[in-house]
Amino acid sequence: MSKYSLIDLPVYVQPELYEINISQVASALMNHGKVESVYRIGSVTAPGISDLDMLVVFKDGASTNHDPLKKLDDKGHYLFVHRLFGVSVSHFQNALGLAQFHNYRLIGGSDTRTEATLTPEDDGLVKVQTALEFMVKMYMVLNFQKEYRIIKVRAFLLEARAMEYDLQYLGITSGPLFDVVNEIIDLRKKWFLSETNSLKIEDLFDRFNKYLTAFLGEVLLKEKFYTPHLSQGKFVKNVKWSNGESLSLAKSGIPFPAFLAGLFHRRYFNMMNKLTGFTIKLPVHNDPPSILEQRFSLLQEMKEYNKKHIPEFMAPGSSLNLG
């Protein structure tokens, strides 16, 4: 008997549909008149699983409620898992290095990139902080799904692939977590070649969660995880965090029978998010070095700017809400 309910299973999409939708969105943005540059982030390595990411650079001070994703059909919305990233020209240039943009290329407008000027030491601090933030987020997300007995399959395959960068940032080239991440990446490539591949998800999910928890618990004692002068806060509405000697997680809320997950899937997941609370304790350092102080400040500034000027676009930033 299955331990989990699997939802959001990948659906095969022809590679050319990715290019059609990218072109459609890029054209709509460049015709809007307030955009300087459009960049595509990443590549399509597994059609039907891969999503599309774009970064839009707006002219300084430009304001708009325009969102080209709203005009896409169902397949287009499937390819764009989340909103587009958006920044002003000034923020984009200031964020280079601090926001760890990677694997992106110009597909519209003029190239507004400048050279990042971080020292090797500062670059290392930013990469470690970026990696730890993503891993803490994944620890949180995996525990949601473990508790609710529901695995969001496509998101799991996407996020495990993204962790490859974070392991690189931490200099990890071997070990149980490294190995299981590569197993998941290999499964992504072969997903549509066999109808039985979904049967491997539960084991991979459990091992990924186990090895990530062990790795994160160890690395947080070796590397400093910084916050912007905070010792406690909320990552999301139902997850509190506070300083602790080691990584731990506690749950509170109203228990519901696990079999309901198999009946109601997403509705059950959303309901449990409202009724279940989590508290994460982890070692934190609330005296960030200058470069991370600058990063926290800029990410918050971009978030506030977008809310005021370009509310339909996400500000590039941390995987976690540390403000």
CA distances (Å), origin 98, targets 40, 61, 101, 120? 19, 22, 8, 12
Angstrom distance (rounded) from CA 323 to CA 317: 11
**pLDDT for position 255:** 63
**pLDDT for position 147:** 86
Q: Which residues of 191-204 are buried (b: 16+ CB within 10 A; e: fewer)?
A: beeeeeeeeebeeb
15-118+299-309 to CATH, choices 3.40.50, 3.30.70, 1.25.40, 3.30.460: 3.30.460
Crossing angle for the helix pair 120-148 and 290-309, nearest 10 degrees? Answer: 60
User: Tokens representing 269?
Assistant: 């997941």
**pLDDT for position 100:** 67
Digit-coded pLDDT (tens) for 250-283: 988 776 666 665 556 667 677 776 778 889 999 9
Domain ranges of the chain: 15-118+299-309
Angstrom distance (rounded) from CA 213 to CA 192: 29
**pLDDT for position 268:** 67
Closest among 124, 278, 220, 304 to 296, alpha carbons compared = 304
β-pairing, 232-236 vs 150-152, is: unpaired
Sequence-distant (6+) residues with CB within 8 A of 194 are: none
Per-residue pLDDT of the chain (323 residues; tens, 9 = 90+): 678 889 899 999 999 999 999 999 999 999 988 999 999 998 899 999 999 999 999 999 999 999 999 999 999 999 999 999 999 999 999 888 787 667 789 999 999 988 778 899 999 999 999 999 999 999 999 998 898 888 999 999 999 999 999 999 999 999 999 999 999 999 999 999 998 999 999 999 999 999 999 999 999 999 999 999 999 999 988 889 999 999 999 988 776 666 665 556 667 677 776 778 889 999 999 999 999 999 999 999 999 999 999 999 999 888 887 76
Q: State pTM to two decimals.
A: 0.92
Angstrom distance (rounded) from CA 142 to CA 205: 8
Digit-coded pLDDT (tens) for 44-69: 999 999 999 999 999 999 999 999 99
